[in-house]
Amino acid sequence: MIELTDVSAAYGPLRVLKGISKAFHGGNIYGIIGLNGAGKTTLFNVIAGAKEYSGSITHSFGNNPIRKETAMLPTTPYFFPKSLGEEYLAFVKHAKGAAASDSNNLFNIPLKKYVSSYSAGMKKKTAFLGLLIGTHEAYILDEPFNDVDIIGNVIMKKEITKLKESGKIVLLSSHILSSLTDICDEILLLCEGEFKKSFQKEEYDFIENHLLNL
């Protein structure tokens, strides 16, 4: 479990998150929706331990800091210049202390080519493979389906569902609402730095109307 209590975050004088309190439990996929600038990426960075905040974040992962137990896929993954796809994955394995065989080219990416030659979708899929390396308690995916082709999205959803089935916490955002309603157990509306509403599965049909009334 990850529990946020009165969590706030700011960039200089701009307060982006405003006293968020929420518990995220293992074996669940949580979708985060909101308009641009609502604070989704900031929230993810705070949970992953990459952004300073006020308030409290506790977890049930033992003595390790939360950043050690959290894997995050950013909206725009970073790759070292002049690196091959296979070199990137080897670097991730080394950084995580994972076994050399701990990866699977689910998307048939040409890993012996430079990542700089990849399309945006291939880069996202390569970063997703890196996300799956090793074992973590929580997975955060910021716009994972952007730029990815239909088959790639299907494979991603299957892998995300496997994480849920193994008892992991999964948080993800998307501007494509159907990509969240397909797999999420709960969808949270983040608006002006606060969770304004939580939607359960039986309420998903009403999300679009709610968004139009913001």
Domain 2-75+138-212: give its CATH architecture: 3-Layer(aba) Sandwich (3.40)
CA pair distance 84, 110, nearest whole angstrom:
9
pLDDT at site 151: 96
Classify 153 as helix, strand or coil.
helix
Distance in angstroms (rounded) separating the CA atoms of residues 170 and 177: 16
Distance CA 188, CA 84 (A): 37
Tokens of 137: 């308690």
The full set of domain ranges for the chain reads 2-75+138-212
* Residue 161 φ then ψ, to 5°: -65, -35
Q: Which residues pair with 190 in a beta bridge?
A: 195
Distant-in-sequence, close-in-space partners of 128: CB < 8 Å, separation ≥ 6: 73, 107, 141, 144, 156, 159
- For residue 171, the one-letter residue type is L
pLDDT in the model for residue 102: 62
| pLDDT for the residue numbered 104 | 79
pLDDT tens, N- to C-terminus, the chain (214 residues): 999 999 999 999 999 999 999 999 999 999 999 988 889 999 999 999 999 999 999 999 988 888 889 999 999 999 998 999 999 999 999 988 876 666 679 999 999 999 999 999 999 999 999 999 999 999 999 999 999 999 999 999 999 999 999 999 999 998 889 999 999 999 999 999 999 999 999 999 989 888 877 7
Predicted local confidence at residue 160, as pLDDT:
97
